[in-house]
Structure 1
Amino acid sequence: MKRNSLLGKFLSFSVGNWLVLIIGLISSPIITRIIEPVEYGKFGMFNLYASILTLIITCGLDQSYVRFFYEEDEVNRNKLLFDSIKIPLILNILISIIIIIFKVPISNYVISEYNPNFIILLLLNITLASISRFSLLTVRMKQKGRLYSMLQVMQKLSYLMSIALFFMIYNNSFLTLAYATLISNAVIAGISIFTERDSWNFKNIKDKKLKNSELDILKYGIPLIFTVLVTWLFQSADKMAIKAFYGDYEVGIYSSANSIIAILNILQTSFATFWIPVAFEKYEKAPEDTKFFSNINDIVSFLMFGIGIGIILFKDVIVLILGPKYRTASYIMPFLVFMPVLYTMSEVSVGGINFKKKPKYHIVIASIACLFNVIGNSILVPTLGAKGAGISTGLAYIVFYYARTLISRKLYKVDYSIGRTTVAILAISILALYTSFMEFSIITVIIGIIVILIVLFLYRNTIKSMKDMIFKDKNKDIRR
C-alpha cells in the first residue's frame, strides 16, 4: 500500500475530527460555564448508561459486520448489514420494554430522582445510537473519508445548536445536554443512512448468498456480548464509585476532566476510523507483511506518547477553559491521558486477535482490565475521590494495552517493541503521578524534560524514518 495513498486516506478521515476538535475547544468552556457541576454529573451518568446500553444492544454484531465486510462481494454487503443489524433491533425493543417497566427505580438510581423526560431521552438515544453505529460503520468500511468527516462536523454543530435551543427551555439542567445529544444522534443517523441508502436497501436480499452464514456472523459476534458486559463494568466503575462515595457534584468534576480527554479522544477516533478498514484490507492482501504493522505501531506510539506528555505538562493551562468551578479537574487529568493514548496504540497491536477471528480473547482482556479497575476504584476512590478514579482508570488502561498486545502477538507474529514501550510508559507514569498531587513548579518542568528526552531517545530511529519518509515524498512531488 503506497504511503501517499495511506496519508491521503488518513487526512480525508481526520479532517472532520480536527474540525470537531476546534469546535470542542470553543464549546467546552461555554458548556461548563452554563451547566452546574451537579447537573453535569447527572448528564455524565445519563451518557454513561446510554453508551453502555448501546454496547449491549449491538452485542458485538457491529464487529462481525466490520470483520466480514471485505470478505463479501460488494453487491451482497446490504445482506450482510441486514443479517448483522436485525438482532440488535430486536434487543433494542426488549431492553426498551424493561426500561419502561422499571422506569422509576432506574431514573432514581441514575440521576437521583424520577424524571419522565430522562426515560424518554434514554430510550430514544439508545435506539438512534445503535442505528447510527451501523450507518457510520458502513461509511467507514467503504473508506469514504470526506463523507465521514462531514458527518462528524455536522453531528457536533447540531449538538451545539441544540444546546442553544434547549437552554432556553431547560436552562442549566442536564436535560439541555441530553436533548442536544438526542438531536445530534438523529442528524447523523438520518444523513448517513440517506447517503448510503443503497446499503440500506433490503429488498430482494433473500436470494443473495453470503460467503459467511448467519451462524458465522453470530459465532464471531456473540462471544463479544460477554466482552460488552465486562466492558460495561470496566467503563462505569469509576463514575459508579464516585457517585456512591461522593455524589453527583464530584461526578461532574470528574466528567469535566473526561470532557477534556474526550477532545484527545478525537485523535483516537480519527486514527481508528482510518486504520481499521486499512488494516483488514492489508491483511487480506498481504498477511506476510508484518513489517508494515510494526512500522505503523512505532509511528503511532511515538506520536501518542508525545501528545500525552504535552497534555500532562500543560493541564493547568488547559483546564482554565472549564471555568473556576471545575479547576480541581486538573489533578484528575494526568492518568486519564492513558485512556486515548494506549487505546489508540492498541488499535494497531490488537490486530492479531481480529485477523485470526478469535473474539473470545476480547473477553479475557476486558475481564482482566475490568477486575483491575474495580479493585483500584474500591481502594483509591474512598480516600482520593475523583483523583483516585482517574489513577485507577489510567492504570487499568495500561493493563488493557499489555493484555491486547501480548495475546495478539501470540496469534500474529509482529514486533511491537514492547520493551521500548514499557520504558516510555514507566517514565510518563512518574510524570503523571507527580502532577496528580503537586502544583506546577520547576520540578514539574525538570521531570517533563527528562521524560521527553527519554521518549526521543527511545524512538530516535522512528523519528529518522519519519523524517526520511516526509522528505522523500516532498522530493517526489518536486520532481513531478
Structure 2
Amino acid sequence: MNSLLKKFIDFALGSGITLILGFISSPIITRLIMPDNYGKFSMFNTVTNLILVVVMVGLDQAYVRFFYEEEQVSRKKLLRESIKIPMLVNLLFSLLLILFYKPFSKFIIGQYSFSVIIMLIIQNTLGIIGRFALLVVRMQQKGKLYSVLQVITKLTYIVGVLSLFLILGNSYNTLILALIISNLLCVIWAIFTERNEWFGVSKNIKLKTSNKELIVFGAPLIFSMAITWIFQSMDKFFIKAFNGYIELGLYSAAFTIIALLNAVQGTFTTFWVPVANEKYVENPEKSKKFFTKVNLIVSFGMLIIAIGIITFKDFLILLLGPKYRQASNIFPFLVFMPIMYTISETTVLGISFKKKNKNHIYIAIISALVNLVGNLILVPSFGAKGAAISTGVSYIVFFSARTLISKNLYHVDYNLKKFYTSTILVTVLALYASFNTSMLILILLGMIVLLIVCFIYKEVLIWALNYLDDKFFRRKHKKYKCKH
C-alpha cells in the first residue's frame, strides 16, 4: 500500500497545484468574461468533447486495455496502431465541419463564424494527440511527469486568458484561443519528453493484439461514450433552449467550482486504472480484498469532500464575483457528478476485466433517459437549478448501474448499504442547500451529516489513524530509542 500511496501522491501533486491555480484563476476569469460569452465558450467545449468521443473510435480505451498485454518493445507499435484511425476519422470530420460551417457555428455560438469552426478543428486534432500523449505517460505510471504536464497546461491557460483579454477583450474567443494554446504546449512537451515512445517504431515488431481486436474492443465504446456525452451534456442544451446563454454562463460558472473537484477525480482515475488492471492480471481472486478496501477509502473521502463543498457553498461562490452570485444554489447537486463518477471507478472493474464493454451502452442509456426526463420536468420551472438536480440524480443512477452490472460479472463486496445510507444523507443536504438561504442552518445540518458519515465509515478512520501512527509517531519513537 505504501508504494501505491507514493504513486498516487506523484499523480496527485499536479492536481493539487492545479486546484490551487483554479482557485486563483476562477475569480479573475469570471470577472473578465460576462456570463453570455462564458456560456458560448461552454457550448464550444461541449461540442468539442462530443466530436472527440466520435473520432476517437474508443481506441484510446483499447490502448489502455491492451497496454500491459504487450511486451515493452511492442508498446510503441500499439500506440501507432491505436492513434492512426482516430486521426483519419478526424480528417474526414473536419472536412464535414468546413462544408457545413454555417449551421455548426450557429448551433455553437448563435451566429455564423468560420473562425470558430477552424478553432474547433484545431482543438479536436490537439485533443486526439493530447489524449494519447497523456496516456503514454499515465500507463507508464510516471506520476511526476503527469503532474508537470497538468500544471503547465493550467498555467498556460491562465496566462493565455490574461494576455488575450488585453487584445480581444470580453469575448468567447479569448477563452477558446487560450484553451488551444495551452493544449498545444502540453502536447509538444509530452511528446518531446516521451519521444522514444513516439518515434523509431520498427516494422518488424509483431503485436499480440490485432487491429481487429483493438476495434472490436473500442467500437462499442463509441456508442456508450456518445450516449454518456448526451447524458452529461443535455443539461446545457436544455438551459440554452429554455433560458439562453446568460443562464448557461451561470451554470457553466458553477461548473468551474466542480471542475476543481474534477482534478481529484482525474487524478484518481489516472492512477487507479493501470493499478487495477495490473492487480487483476496478477491474481483475480486475491485482489478482491484490495478492491474492497480501496472502494471504502475512496467512498469515504469523496463523500466528505461533497459534504464540505455543499455546506460552505456560499463562501465558495464568492470566488466567481458578483455577476455569477446566482450560481450559489446551482452547484450543490453538481457535486454528485465527480463524486459518483470517482467512486464508480472502483466498482466498475468487472466490466473492463471481463471485456463486456457493451454494458457501458446500457448504463449510458439508462442514465441518459433519467437525465432527459429530469431536464424536461425541472428545467422549464427551475432553470439551471433544475438542470443541476437532474444531473445529480442521474449520476447516482449512473453509479448504481455501473456497480450492479460489474458485481454480476466480478463479485466484490462494495459495502453498498453504507454507501447508499450516506448518499441519502448528502442528497438531503444538497436539497436544503439548493432551495434555502439560511447559512447557519446549512452549516449545522452539514455538521450532523458529517458526523453520521464518519460513524458509518469509522473503520476507514481507524485505518487512517493506524497509518499515521505507524508512519510518524512510531518511527519517531524508534529514532528516539536508537539515540538513547
Q: TM-score, normalised by structure 2?
A: 0.97
Aligned match of 2:257: 260
Q: State the Cα distance separating 1:50 from its structure 2 match.
A: 0.9
Structure 1 contact 14–270 (Cα < 8 Å) conserved: yes
Aligned match of 2:220: 223
Counting only pairs closer than 5 Å after superposition, residues 78-227 of structure 1 correspond to structure 2 as 78-201=76-199, 203-205=201-203, 207-227=204-224
Aligned match of 2:482: none
Corresponding position: 1:422 with 2:433? no
Counting only pairs closer than 5 Å after superposition, residues 401-416 of structure 1 correspond to structure 2 as 401-416=399-414
Counting only pairs closer than 5 Å after superposition, residues 281-430 of structure 1 correspond to structure 2 as 281-288=278-285, 289-430=287-428
One-letter amino acid matched to 1:217: L
Q: State the Cα distance separating 1:284 from its structure 2 match.
A: 1.1
Aligned match of 1:232: 229
Counting only pairs closer than 5 Å after superposition, residues 461-476 of structure 1 correspond to structure 2 as 461-474=459-472
Structure 2 contact 312–443 (Cα < 8 Å) conserved: no
1: CA distance between counterparts of 2:324 and 2:53? 30
Q: Percent same amino acid among aligned pairs? A: 51
One-letter amino acid matched to 2:390: S
1: CA distance between counterparts of 2:438 and 2:139? 44
Structure 1 contact 159–181 (Cα < 8 Å) conserved: yes
Q: State the Cα distance separating 1:202 from its structure 2 match.
A: 5.2
Alignment RMSD:
1.2
Deviations 1:382-428 (A, max 9, x none): 11000000000000100000111111111111100111111001000
Q: State the Cα distance separating 1:162 from its structure 2 match.
A: 1.1
Q: State the Cα distance separating 1:185 from its structure 2 match.
A: 0.8
Aligned match of 2:434: 436
Matched positions, count: 477
2: CA distance between counterparts of 1:121 and 1:217? 30
Stretches of structure 1 lacking an aligned partner (at least 5 in a row): none
Structure 1 contact 82–202 (Cα < 8 Å) conserved: no
One-letter amino acid matched to 1:285: E
Structure 1 contact 242–385 (Cα < 8 Å) conserved: yes
Q: State the Cα distance separating 1:476 from its structure 2 match.
A: 6.5
**1:254 is paired with a residue of what secondary structure?**
helix
Q: TM-score, normalised by structure 1?
A: 0.97
Stretches of structure 2 lacking an aligned partner (at least 5 in a row): 480-484
One-letter amino acid matched to 1:235: Q
One-letter amino acid matched to 1:401: F
Relative to structure 1, the CA distance from residue 20 to residue 221 in structure 2 (aligned partners, 3 Å threshold; closer, same or farther) is same
Structure 1 window deviating more from structure 2 (188-197 vs 134-143): it is: 188-197
Structure 1 window deviating more from structure 2 (337-346 vs 465-474): it is: 465-474
Corresponding position: 1:244 with 2:241? yes
Structure 2 contact 77–201 (Cα < 8 Å) conserved: no
Q: State the Cα distance separating 1:12 from its structure 2 match.
A: 0.6
Structure 1 contact 54–126 (Cα < 8 Å) conserved: yes
